[in-house]
A and B are shown apart, each in its own frame.
Chain A
Amino acid sequence: MVRVDDVSKTYRTGVESVTALDSVTLQIETGGFVAVQGPSGCGKTTLLLTVGGLLKPDNGSVTIDGESLYEMPIERRTKFRAGSIGFVFQQFHLVPYLNVRDNVLAPTMALPLDDARERAEELLEEFNLLDRLKHTPAELSTGERQRVALARAMLHEPRVILADEPTGNLDERNAEIVLGALAEFAGAGGTVMLVTHDNAAAAWAERILRIDRGRLVEGGETAARHNAKAAG
């Protein structure tokens, strides 16, 4: 269960300040698959990074399975990310000089894993990449790259996968493969938060959260409702 409680985040650059998140409160139950939608610049990525333990909010809290991310020391949060959260980005962020297998194994730098190689090869087989083990990202198609990123995100069998526009650069067929994998992950008990502006992609989710100018406008619970619920 992912809980976001009254989270606000304001970016301050010099004189200007941008409120990217404004008192956002939401919950994603374990095994849930939610999509986050909203216009560009509304704060979707900010929300995702905050949930992922990478961006400390100005106030409010993020809790995953009862563990409050920003109350734990940074070392533990880093370790928590390694073991419990998988990230997928629109730009894949693969390590250019590592081959496919080593990219998938990269998370073992942060957290060792028994039988990591077998696990990596299992995942790559699942994503139909077994014949590309020794290839570098530059030698792959965009769809293949995103599948490698997905395999990497899944290596440690995380509790949560946070995907930011994972299909943004993909054609329909590849997008379906990625979304299908996310749905399967959720079906197997994982929690998925998918940021997308593509309605077709969002349709794969069980629930859609809409954000506008940092405020959750649909699908979540307003702080008031949440508080009322908690009180009642």
Chain B
Amino acid sequence: MSVFRLSLREITHRKLSFMLGLLSIMIAVGVLVGAVTMLNGHDLRTEQVIAQKEAETREEMARMEDDYRRIMKDMGYNVLILHENQDIDELEQLGYPTHYMPEDYAQRLADEKISTLNHLLPLLQERVNWPERGSEVLLTGVRGQVPIFHGMKHERPPIMDPVDPGEIKLGYDLARSMEVGEDDTVTMRGTELLVREVYNRRGTQDDLTAWVSLAQAQEWMGRPEQINGILALECICDPGDLGAIQQTVRAILPDTQTYEFASLIQARGLARQRAAEAHETAIEQEMLYRASLREERRAFASILVPVAAIGAAAWVMFLMMGNVRERRSEIGILRAIGVRAGMIQRAFLLKAVLMGLLGGIIGLMAGVFIGAWLSEIAPGIQGFGALVEARVMVAALAGAPVLAALASWLPASLAARQDPAIVLQEE
């Protein structure tokens, strides 16, 4: 017969009281582990939520960036140099300028070698009748850039490419409606033209535009040596400061004005910036909210944990006191037959330790799951292991028996100190 066996038998005999003790320890450990798990889970969940929001923001920003880049590619930091009398509203309404300048303006501008103006493209653009088709078309006469630019053909807007005399280039929709492809010939105003190129769809008015050589356009429009715009592409300038370019250009060509596409770009850029800011504040607010939620939870746990621990200790002590009273007679006879006081004390402490150990294990498991549930972390996902550090597990598994043993210390020593002579004299 050993103390261990004695304690086991006693525990199985008085299950209820043991279970009640176990339960209180379970709750205390569960609360502790649950609180730690919940707070860790909270942090983990916060990371997840913030990461997700950041990813969303990144995605949206990337989309806007892409959008922006597309606009930039189409329009660049581009300016259109027009005659000073050109009404901008009219230009925007018609889609082409209605005032004309001498063709050599482009060359004059190029000769000045203005570092902020890159590619200079003189153009003559007008909506004209296409008698063979019985409809109007936006006809653009181009001659390539001044000075000549060498680059990747398809990376550039069609306006950058020169068109040879006797040839035509067509926008996507225009070509489709005419059912013509590259190397077909079309007739315009009695002239046979070789379709040199059909551009891919761009989603702009380019799709309904036909490009011919500048000389051809001048001839058809009856505007020899004239143009109605010089497109300056990819200007190296601050889109917010178009005034500077205007000044530069007017110093050379006084009767011109500079139309910028930048207002649109700027608006897009601004929208993008605003969106980024909105996302940032949303994330900040989410973080603030989660921080305050965490603080609330932490404060609650910091009260609940000690209350549960003290409650469990008091309850275990109370139960153990009852147990000592219950076992008076048994203790008396065991002491009489020579069992040492220390052994009696050990029997009670052993019972407490078993109670703590078992309660600790069950409480630990319960706490992890409840804490995970509270912090909305699904059990089993990666990172679940990070919810409860080994430190906390050890603390719970070692702390619970220690707590139970400490709570049982007084009852156990009272039991050990019982005088068998007095007990045995009792009826």
Collect the chain B residues with CB atoms within 8 Å of residue A96's CB: 13, 330
Please tell me if the beta carbons of B338 and A97 are within 8 angstroms of each other in the complex. Answer: no
Distance between Cα atoms of A54 and B425 in the complex (Å): 11
Q: Say if the beta carbon of B1 comes within 8 Å of chain A.
A: yes
Stretch touching chain A among B3-11, B186-194, B360-368 = B3-11
Q: Say if the beta carbon of B177 comes within 8 Å of chain A.
A: no
Collect the chain B residues with CB atoms within 8 Å of residue A93's CB: 329-330, 332-333, 336, 424
Please tell me if the beta carbons of B337 and A49 are within 8 angstroms of each other in the complex. Answer: no
Q: A97-B9, A102-B9 known; A109 and B336 CB under 8 Å?
A: no
Distance between Cα atoms of A45 and B14 in the complex (Å): 32
Residue-by-residue, is B6-46 near A (CB-CB < 8 Å gives 1, otherwise 0)? 10011011100000000000000000000000000000000
Collect the chain B residues with CB atoms within 8 Å of residue A87's CB: 333, 336-337, 424
Q: Say if the beta carbon of B334 comes within 8 Å of chain A.
A: yes
Residue-by-residue, is A46-83 near B (CB-CB < 8 Å gives 1, otherwise 0)? 10010010110000000000000000000100111111
Q: Say if the beta carbon of B339 comes within 8 Å of chain A.
A: yes
B12–chain A nearest beta-carbon distance, Å: 7
Q: A93-B330, A97-B14 known; A107 and B9 CB under 8 Å?
A: no
Collect the chain A residues with CB atoms within 8 Å of residue B9's CB: 97-98, 102
Distance between Cα atoms of A78 and B344 in the complex (Å): 13
Please tell me if the beta carbons of B333 and A107 are within 8 angstroms of each other in the complex. Answer: no
Please tell me if the beta carbons of A111 and B338 are within 8 angstroms of each other in the complex. Answer: yes
Q: Which of A46, A75, A86, A98 has the most CB of B within 10 A?
A: A98
CB nearest neighbor in B for A93: B333
Q: Say if the beta carbon of B155 comes within 8 Å of chain A.
A: no
Please tell me if the beta carbons of A78 and B334 are within 8 angstroms of each other in the complex. Answer: no
Collect the chain A residues with CB atoms within 8 Å of residue B14's CB: 97
Collect the chain B residues with CB atoms within 8 Å of residue A106's CB: 1, 333-334, 337, 339
Collect the chain A residues with CB atoms within 8 Å of residue B2's CB: 109
State the main secondary structure of chain B at its contact with A.
Answer: helix
Please tell me if the beta carbons of A152 and B337 are within 8 angstroms of each other in the complex. Answer: yes
Q: A49-B424, A91-B329 known; A81 and B1 CB under 8 Å?
A: no
CB nearest neighbor in B for A104: B1
Q: Say if the beta carbon of A18 comes within 8 Å of chain B.
A: no
Q: A49-B421, A81-B337, A93-B332 known; A109 and B13 CB under 8 Å?
A: no
Partner of B427, one of A55, A79, A83, A91: A91
Distance between Cα atoms of A97 and B331 in the complex (Å): 13
Q: Say if the beta carbon of A35 comes within 8 Å of chain B.
A: no
B347–chain A nearest beta-carbon distance, Å: 9
Collect the chain B residues with CB atoms within 8 Å of residue A91's CB: 329, 427
Q: Say if the beta carbon of A89 comes within 8 Å of chain B.
A: yes
B345–chain A nearest beta-carbon distance, Å: 13
Distance between Cα atoms of A105 and B9 in the complex (Å): 14
Collect the chain B residues with CB atoms within 8 Å of residue A82's CB: 337-339
Collect the chain B residues with CB atoms within 8 Å of residue A94's CB: 333
Q: Say if the beta carbon of B340 comes within 8 Å of chain A.
A: yes
Q: Which of B6, B330, B421, B427 has the most CB of A within 10 A?
A: B421
A interface residues, tally (CB under 8 Å): 34
Distance between Cα atoms of A215 and B9 in the complex (Å): 44
Collect the chain B residues with CB atoms within 8 Å of residue A79's CB: 338
Distance between Cα atoms of A96 and B339 in the complex (Å): 17
Please tell me if the beta carbons of B334 and A95 are within 8 angstroms of each other in the complex. Answer: yes
Q: Say if the beta carbon of A108 comes within 8 Å of chain B.
A: yes
Distance between Cα atoms of A89 and B330 in the complex (Å): 12
Collect the chain A residues with CB atoms within 8 Å of residue B329's CB: 91, 93
Distance between Cα atoms of A106 and B338 in the complex (Å): 10
Please tell me if the beta carbons of A107 and B424 are within 8 angstroms of each other in the complex. Answer: no
A168–chain B nearest beta-carbon distance, Å: 10
Q: Say if the beta carbon of B180 comes within 8 Å of chain A.
A: no
Distance between Cα atoms of A81 and B420 in the complex (Å): 12
A38–chain B nearest beta-carbon distance, Å: 15
Collect the chain A residues with CB atoms within 8 Å of residue B332's CB: 93
B187–chain A nearest beta-carbon distance, Å: 114
Partner of B1, one of A54, A55, A83, A105: A105
Please tell me if the beta carbons of B424 and A108 are within 8 angstroms of each other in the complex. Answer: no
Please tell me if the beta carbons of A78 and B330 are within 8 angstroms of each other in the complex. Answer: no
Collect the chain A residues with CB atoms within 8 Å of residue B338's CB: 78-83, 107, 110-111
CB nearest neighbor in B for A54: B421
CB nearest neighbor in B for A75: B340
Please tell me if the beta carbons of A52 and B340 are within 8 angstroms of each other in the complex. Answer: no
Q: Say if the beta carbon of B278 comes within 8 Å of chain A.
A: no
Distance between Cα atoms of A186 and B281 in the complex (Å): 97
Q: Say if the beta carbon of B343 comes within 8 Å of chain A.
A: yes
Please tell me if the beta carbons of A109 and B424 are within 8 angstroms of each other in the complex. Answer: no
B175–chain A nearest beta-carbon distance, Å: 100
CB nearest neighbor in A for B341: A78
Collect the chain B residues with CB atoms within 8 Å of residue A55's CB: 421
Collect the chain A residues with CB atoms within 8 Å of residue B343's CB: 109-110
Collect the chain A residues with CB atoms within 8 Å of residue B425's CB: 45-46, 49
B40–chain A nearest beta-carbon distance, Å: 43
Instruction: Mark out the residues of chain B between 168 and 198 whose CB falls within 8 Å of any chain A CB in the assembled complex.
Output: none
Residue-by-residue, is B316-332 near A (CB-CB < 8 Å gives 1, otherwise 0)? 00000000000001101
A55–chain B nearest beta-carbon distance, Å: 4
Distance between Cα atoms of A75 and B335 in the complex (Å): 12
Please tell me if the beta carbons of B421 and A107 are within 8 angstroms of each other in the complex. Answer: no
Please tell me if the beta carbons of B3 and A95 are within 8 angstroms of each other in the complex. Answer: no
Distance between Cα atoms of A45 and B336 in the complex (Å): 14
Show the binding face of A for B, using Cβ within 8 Å.
Answer: 45-46, 49, 52, 54-55, 75, 78-83, 86-87, 89, 91, 93-98, 102, 105-111, 152-153, 164
Show the binding face of B for A, using Cβ within 8 Å.
Answer: 1-3, 5-6, 9-10, 12-14, 329-330, 332-340, 343, 420-421, 424-425, 427
**Sample of 7 A–B contacts (CB below 8 Å):** A82-B339, A87-B424, A102-B9, A106-B333, A106-B337, A107-B337, A107-B338
Q: Which 4 A-B pairs have the closest CB atoms?
A: A82-B338, A97-B13, A110-B338, A93-B333
Q: Apart from A55-B421, A106-B333, A108-B1, what 18 extra A-B contacts exist at CB < 8 Å?
A: A52-B336, A54-B424, A78-B335, A79-B338, A82-B337, A83-B338, A87-B336, A89-B333, A91-B329, A93-B332, A94-B333, A102-B9, A105-B1, A106-B334, A107-B337, A110-B338, A110-B343, A111-B338
